[in-house]
Each structure stands twice: as C-alpha cells, then as structure tokens.
Amino acid sequence: MARRADPPEKDGTPLPGLVSAYYYHLDEDKQQPVLAVVFRDITDLHQSEAARARLQAELIAAQQALIRELSTPLIPIADRVVIMPLIGSIDSTRAQAVIETLLEGITTHRAETAILDITGVQTIDSQVASALVQATQAVRLLGARVMVTGIHPAIAQTLVHLGVDLQGIATYSALQAGIAAALRSGAAPTLRNGTAARRNPLLTS
C-alpha cells in the first residue's frame, strides 16, 4: 500500500528526485479512490547529467581553442622571420588571439620581423584596423618590427578613410614582396642557409 512521504533530505539539502502520483481504489466498487505519491531519488542520474554537461562544455572550449589556433597560425619562414596569414573575419576575440599568438611566437622564435598577411581578410573595418595597430605596437615593445602584406588599393583607401596611422609600418601589396623585403633587409635575421645578419640585442640571450 503506497503512502504519502516527504522528499528526504541530506544535510538540509533537498535531493533531486522524480515524484509520481496516481490514484487507485481499495474497494471493489471503486468508491474510495486513494492518491499515491512516490518519490524516486535520482541523485546519481543528476550527477551523471552534470558530469556530461561539464564534459560537453570542456569539449566545446577545446574545439574553440583549436579553431582559434588554426585561424591564427604563426609560421617561421627563416631564422628571426615569422609570418601570420590572416583569413576570414576578425572579431575582438580573434584579434586578441592574434596579438597573443604573435607575441608568443616572436619570443619563442626570437624573431626580429613579423609579417601579417591580410590578403585573405574578408572585410577591413575599424576593428580589423585597430587589431593591426595594437599588434604592431605590441611587437615593437619586444624590439621587433611588423610588415603588413596584402594591402591592395581598395584596402589602402579604406584604411585612410578610417584614419588608421600606418606610419612606420612597412606595407606591401603582395606577400611575396614582403617576404623578399624581410629577407634582404639589413635588419633581417640570420637566414636558414647560414648567412649572418645583424641581430636585435633586445632579443638575444
């Protein structure tokens, strides 16, 4: 015979549970309906669901981190020269990732020249322009320099219209031109073929 019961508690904390309620009759004539309430403790189920939710959140975070890493690759093309090709759109989150990856890569590779290639950037707006300026300023604090490639006439006009100050930043219309300039410059780092060049004292040990 079912009876009514209050949901149990542990240490004053209500237990997660499922409550089932139904009517049944004690007499054959079905004149005396009785309400039965059954409480089922689902603590284990609740904990399993919470664990699955945490695992899913961690998986999503890992996937997002991988996407950010793939969308901001840093490629060393010679000793002390690195390149970061940017593709697609750039929002505030990705802009921050660009700066962090760039600074970390310059430190790791002891780079003196970083090339930001924006050939594949879909739209140049104030946010993208701000990201370029911030990246350039941050790189300069490490004693390195930035070249920006992929600047075609339309992008140049947009940057001028936005009032972006690119003074002191070497810009090139094509990536190949920027790479060639970085490698032949007197300030370019030691090439991988062993040709020595002047090194930035701020980046030497």
**Domain limits, the chain:** 9-68, 73-203
Q: Which residue has the tokens 């600047």?
A: 151
CA distance 43 to 41: 6
| 4-50 pLDDT tens trace | 344 555 566 666 777 777 777 676 777 777 777 777 777 777 777 77
Averaged over 81-105, what is the pLDDT? 85
Structural tokens at position 19: 């409550």
**pLDDT at 64 (0 to 100):** 61
Rounded to 5 degrees, what angle do the CA atoms 27, 29, 33 make? 55
Tell me which residue of 203, 205, 198, 197 sits closest to 105, measured CA to CA: 203
Averaged over 45-60, what is the pLDDT? 77
Structural tokens at position 100: 């962090």
Which position has the higher pLDDT, 54 or 189?
Answer: 54
Which position has the higher pLDDT, 186 or 88?
Answer: 88
CA distance 102 to 82: 9
Lowest mean pLDDT among 74-83, 175-184, 187-196: 187-196
Structural tokens at position 26: 């004690």
Averaged over 108-127, what is the pLDDT? 86
Q: Is 11 left (phi over 0), alpha (psi -120 to 50) or beta?
A: left
**pLDDT at 193 (0 to 100):** 42
Whether the pLDDT of residue 133 is over 50: the answer is yes
Whether the pLDDT of residue 147 is over 50: the answer is yes
Which position has the higher pLDDT, 193 or 123?
Answer: 123
Whether the pLDDT of residue 204 is over 70: the answer is no
Lowest mean pLDDT among 40-49, 81-90, 164-173: 40-49
Helix 92-109 with 43-71: angle, nearest 10 deg:
70
Whether the pLDDT of residue 108 is over 50: the answer is yes
Give the helix, strand, coil percentages of the chain, each rounded to 5: 40, 25, 35
CA distance 8 to 30: 32
Question: Domain 73-203 belongs to what topology?
Answer: Transcription Regulator spoIIAA (3.30.750)
Provide, rounded to the nearest whole percent, the portion of the chain with pLDDT above 90: 16
Provide, rounded to the nearest whole percent, the portion of the chain with pLDDT above 70: 75
CA distance 155 to 162: 10
Q: What letters, b where the CB count within 10 A reaches 16 and e where it falls short, cover 164-202?
A: bebeebbbbeebeebbebbbebeebbbbeeeeebeebee
With residue 61 as reference, give the H or E element that holds it: helix 43-71
- List 13's β-bridge partners, or say none: 10
